[in-house]
């Protein structure tokens, strides 16, 4: 097993265990809400956000004693991600029925519970981030909120819904994705660096890395939606096209989208080019996301 795979598997396992502890047990009242939260947030996935957070913490020179804080901060971002998937799948939004090879949350638990589960997962994300960041809570919670809010993830989803069925230039697609997906990737890098005590220069470099990585992720996500089968990506393929969504392959063609992905991967690595071996995992991640064939 190569080093990145080992790091990713170990981190995913650690994150899964921490997440399972953060969400109240399924036999605690209200049982159905906790069942739905656990259904939406647990049980797999690559846990890419904790992976990126932890890799950025290491690249930022974080101390071993603070490592579990960085892991928990990454889990907070993962909880935020779970909330967004749960709400994005709702009938009024993307109206999807499959996610991670299972029924979406509202299909399994009903719409009211799915809305509340998403709401409570967002709340939990902030609770975990505040506890993980301790004396740095003002900054770290602010970073998470900026990435998640109306000029971040939620705003990107609004722009995405608004843009459905309209032809758009690639610049507009990139802008939407920078908000919708990229802001959260960048948040992983920034929070990892902040918890590592990185100075302004390192923080700026890791921010630039995160920006490129976020676009890279979205391009390959769009490509997979077009080319992969349902089992591989764990959700309904071809949805983007059916919904008339703005995608990179639609704007640039498949080859053009692949070229742009390669460029973003390269830009990500350049941003941290002056880092030493402490940034190894981040470099490998930029390759991994370019080459991936299944959804993280």
Residues that bind a second copy (CB under 8 A): 23-24, 28-30, 32-34, 37, 83, 87, 90, 92-93, 110-113, 115-116, 118-120, 122-124, 126-127, 129-131, 133-135, 137-138, 141-142, 144-146, 148-152, 154-155, 157-159, 161-162
Structure tokens, 178: 């920078």
Smallest gap, in angstroms, from Cβ of residue 107 to a second copy?
13
Smallest gap, in angstroms, from Cβ of residue 243 to a second copy?
12
Structure tokens, 165: 């069925």
Q: Which is nearer to a second copy, 33 or 250 (CB)?
A: 33
Smallest gap, in angstroms, from Cβ of residue 213 to a second copy?
22
Place of tokens 């920034």: 190
Beta strands in the chain (DSSP E): 98-99, 102-103
Q: Which is nearer to a second copy, 29 or 231 (CB)?
A: 29
Separation of alpha carbons 127 and 28, rounded Å: 18
* Collapsed DSSP state (helix, strand, coil) of residue 103: strand
Backbone torsions φ then ψ of 102, nearest 5 degrees: -135, 170
Smallest gap, in angstroms, from Cβ of residue 60 to a second copy?
21
Structure tokens, 279: 């940034």
Q: Which is nearer to a second copy, 58 or 89 (CB)?
A: 89
Q: Which is nearer to a second copy, 110 or 238 (CB)?
A: 110
Q: Which is nearer to a second copy, 7 or 126 (CB)?
A: 126
For residue 25, what is the DSSP state? P
Other Cβ atoms less than 10 A from the Cβ of 273: the count is 10
Residues across the chain: 296
Smallest gap, in angstroms, from Cβ of residue 221 to a second copy?
20
What residues are paired with 98 via a beta bridge? Answer: 103
For residue 24, what is the DSSP state? P
Yes or no: say if 51 and 74 are a contact pair by the CB < 8 Å rule.
Answer: yes
Smallest gap, in angstroms, from Cβ of residue 273 to a second copy?
33
Angle at 84 between CA 80 and CA 88, to 5 degrees: 175
Q: Which is nearer to a second copy, 187 or 205 (CB)?
A: 187
């Amino acid at each position: 097993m190569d080093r990145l795979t080992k790091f990713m598997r170990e981190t995913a396992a650690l994150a899964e265990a921490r997440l399972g502890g953060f969400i109240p047990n399924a036999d605690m009242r209200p049982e159905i809400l906790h069942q739905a939260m656990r259904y939406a947030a647990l049980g797999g996935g690559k846990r890419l956000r904790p992976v990126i957070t932890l890799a950025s913490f290491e690249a930022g020179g974080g101390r071993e004693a603070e490592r579990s804080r960085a892991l928990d901060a990454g889990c907070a971002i993962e909880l935020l991600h779970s909330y967004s998937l749960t709400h994005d799948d709702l009938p009024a939004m993307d109206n999807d029925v499959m996610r991670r090879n299972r029924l979406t949350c509202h299909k399994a638990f009903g719409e009211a519970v799915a809305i509340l589960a998403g709401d409570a997962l967002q709340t939990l994300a902030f609770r975990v981030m505040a506890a993980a960041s301790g004396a740095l809570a003002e900054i770290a919670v602010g970073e998470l909120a900026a990435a998640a809010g109306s000029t971040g993830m939620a705003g990107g989803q609004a722009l995405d819904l608004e843009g459905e069925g309209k032809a758009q230039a690639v610049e507009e697609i990139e802008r939407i994705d920078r908000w919708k997906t990229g802001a959260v990737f960048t948040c992983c890098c920034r929070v990892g660096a902040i918890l590592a005590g990185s100075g302004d220069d390192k923080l700026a470099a890791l921010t630039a890395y995160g920006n490129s990585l976020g676009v890279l992720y979205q391009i390959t996500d769009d490509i997979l939606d077009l080319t992969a089968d349902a089992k591989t990506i764990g959700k309904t393929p071809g949805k983007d096209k059916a919904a008339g969504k703005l995608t990179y392959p639609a704007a640039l063609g498949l080859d053009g989208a692949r070229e742009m992905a390669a460029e973003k991967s390269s830009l990500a690595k350049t941003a941290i080019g002056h880092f030493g071996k402490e940034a190894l995992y981040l470099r490998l991640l930029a390759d991994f996301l370019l080459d991936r064939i299944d959804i993280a």
